[in-house]
Structure formats: structure tokens, C-alpha cells
Amino acid sequence: MKELPDYSRRGFMRTSALGLGAGMGLGLGSFEALAQTAGRDIGTGQTPPADPLERRAAGRPEPELNGTLRPTPPEQRLGWAVCGLGHFAQNYAIPAIARASEAKLTGLISGNRDKALGVASAWGVPEGSVYDYRMQALADNDAVHIVYVITPNAIHEENVIAALEAGKHVFCEKPFAHNSAAAQRMMDAAKAADRKIMIAYRAHFEPNNVALKEMVRKGELGDVWYATSDHHRPLDPSVERDQWRMVRDLAGGGSLMDIGIYSLNGLIWLLDEVPERLVATTFSPRTEDGRFGEIEAIGQVQLVFPSGRRASISSGYVADKKRIDLWGSRGVAVLDPATAYSGNKFTLSNADGQEMPTPSKASEQQFVGEIDHFSKGVRDGDEILTPAEMGLRDMRLLEAIYVSAERGEWVEVNPDGTMR
């Protein structure tokens, strides 16, 4: 067999030296010396790294991940089934599960099987993992660990209890229920099943809100004796997702129940204090379509906290505004928008002017953040930041607000939200 040429650098040097050296009067040693001299980095006196043809890959050190964590391997992520496949579920919840580091979509639950099968096909969920609202067969699916309930408020109870009886943990959209009695029954069912419930208060994971919470905790705003929180958005009877919100038996109330809960829960969380007294008023303008015939359009509440702090919160189904203001002795912090799905902003005003702190993550992180948080809470036993107890407390406070509005008088409440 014919011997193959030696294409290594040393072989090339040897061949070149023998061929060129004979004609140029250079010996092998002279040629290698010339090659080494020519190989130096001109102007630095330094010899460059070894020839790439001789180098073997040694591996680079671990890179920085820009503040993110490497996702958990897919086989270790918890499986989520989404219950209710409406606008929010398909546009926000399911895509967030797909982006999450600790979760994966493994099931769907709907009263419309054709719709559910279409969603399943789009997101790679097996047909056998599509269920109706009874959920009995869900108990046999070990790939589903958590059920995300996204249905009208009054239907939460039957969905949540069905999921618990199937042996699954539950992530429930806010408000927890349409009244506190239903919320308590769900908590009792969770205790009996030894399963966890978390309420989807996404603002607790929204980067701007988290930055303000940390600023308050550190005392950087000084003394905060007054706060306002206003959440309004137009109700649109022409879209299906708003039609059930006009029915008191399904929604439990109007704007206060739907988005006023952001105003209430947000201030309690940011100030780390539950009000002890409140007084409320509600109002519903007349419209040709009668959209506010059963529910309040506008709600306004004055809150007094044990520390002496005062706050004003409002909700509405007419305008469009989602804003929180904390009035501190060292500065006024403003979230505007405060709880939108995206594009939230945080502005701090003080004697030196205004500045806009820039959180390290986008507002959309709130959806992934809450999903990953509950996944780890279920898997690792970590503390749940927005547990069912918080949801029950807020339901009781909302009921106290409605009582105050009906009576036209101040109402005293306990730390758990119950009326005194």
C-alpha cells in the first residue's frame, strides 16, 4: 500500500525544508529557526498560540447566563393541565407554561372537546390527555401534577374541587371565588386531599412591582402614610370573555371583584399591612344595553390601616387605567401601568427630579414567574407566596366592601378579612 503524505505541520516543515533548503542553501535547522522567527507577532515579541491544526479543544469555562438560570430538564418539570380554554388561557397562560423553566403543558380541560383537540394539536398535547370538566379520568394521568383553573368566578369551586379529588394541585385565577364561602370549601377540600392551592396574583411576580416592594421594605421611600391604587378598564359586551362578567351570579360582583382586587391586594402586599377599617361607595350609570344592570361599574373605597396609614382604591368598567401611587416622605413611587400584561413602568419622584428604575426583566416575566414559583413549591415544598389563605382573606374583604357600600357606613375588619 502506498504511504500517505504527512500533512501535519511537522511533516510540512520537513518536506519544505528538504525541498526549499536545497535550492536556497538552508538546512533543516535554519528553516525551522526562520519559521519560528516569522511566526512571532510583529511588534510584540510574543509567540502566538499554537497552530490550530495541532491544538485540541480544551473547552471554555462556564459562561455568564445574564441573571437567568438554566432550565430544569424536561423530565423533571411538573406537568400542567389548563382548565378553561378561553382568550386568556390561549393567549397568555398556555404560552407562559411553554416558556417556563419548571413546567410543561401535559393536559387540557374544556367543555368543548373540538376546541380542546385543536388546542392540543397546536401545543403537542396527546388526545388522551384532553378531559371534560368532570375530570375523573385525570386521576390516572401521572403526567399532570397541577391544574390551572381559568373559568368564570362562580365555576372555580366545582373545577378546583374536581381537580383536587383527582389528586392534583391547583393554580386558581383570581378572584379565588365569587364569595368567601366557596373559597373556604375549596380550602377544606385541599386540606382533605393534602394538596396545595395557589392564587394567580401575577403582580407579585411582575418586575416593576417587585422592585417597588423591595424599595418599600428597605425604607427607601421614607414614611409612606398615604397610597392610591386605581384599576379601570372598559367592559365590552360584544366579546364573550366579558359577557359573563355582567352576570352577578357568575362574577360575584362587578368591577371591584374583577379588577378592583388588584387595587386591594396590591396595596396590602406593598405596604405589608391589612386594613382595619373601610368605607365604600359604588355606582352604575344607565346605558342603553343595560350592561351594568346587575353589577357595579364604579367602586371607590377608603382604607385605614392599623399603623394609621390611609389609602384610596378604585375600580371601574368605563375608563382604562391601572396605576398605583405610594406617597413617601423621601419620594413618590408610581407604577403606571401597574398591572398590565406588558409594558408596566415604575417612576420615582423626589426633590432631585424623576427617575425610572429599570427592572432586569420584562413585564411578561410575571406569567412565567408565578408558574415556575408554584411548580417549585409543589415539587420542593417551598413556601407559596400567594396561597389560598390570601385569596380567602381578599374575598372576605371584598364582601366587607360591598356591605359598607350597601349600608353607607364604615366597617371594621380583622386581619383575616372577616368583619368585626
CA triplet 179, 181, 184: central angle to 5 degrees? 115
Cell matching residue 96: 407562559
DSSP, collapsed to helix, strand or coil, labels residue 370 as: helix
Q: Are 171 and 374 in contact (CB under 8 A)?
A: yes
- Active-site annotation holds for 345: no
DSSP, collapsed to helix, strand or coil, labels residue 285 as: coil
**CA–CA distances in Å: residue 119 to residues 132, 175, 264, 371:** 14, 25, 34, 20
Annotate 333-375 with DSSP letters as a single string.
EEESSSS-SS---EEEEETTEEE----SS-TTHHHHHHHHHHH
The count of other CB atoms within 10 Å of the CB of residue 26 is 16
Beta bridge partners of 301: 280, 313
Which of 253, 256, 300 lies closest to 279, judged by CA?
Answer: 300
DSSP, collapsed to helix, strand or coil, labels residue 312 as: strand
Q: Are 134 and 162 in contact (CB under 8 A)?
A: yes
- Between 388-407 and 261-271, two packed helices, what is the crossing angle to 10 degrees? 120
**CA–CA distances in Å: residue 416 to residues 175, 247, 327, 349, 406:** 16, 28, 26, 34, 21
Residue with cell 500500500: 1
Q: Are 335 and 208 in contact (CB under 8 A)?
A: yes
Question: Amino acid identity, residue 301?
Answer: V
Tell me how far apart the alpha carbons of residues 89 and 250 are, in angstroms, rounded to a whole number: 18
Q: Are 253 and 398 in contact (CB under 8 A)?
A: yes
- Find all residues with CB under 8 Å of 59, minimum gap 6, and list them: none
**CA–CA distances in Å: residue 375 to residues 78, 170, 202:** 6, 10, 14
DSSP state for residue 205 in the 8-state scheme: G
- Active-site annotation holds for 317: no
Single out the catalytic residue among 131, 262, 317, 402.
Answer: 262
Single out the catalytic residue among 104, 168, 174, 322.
Answer: 174
Q: What is the set of active-site residues?
A: 174, 262
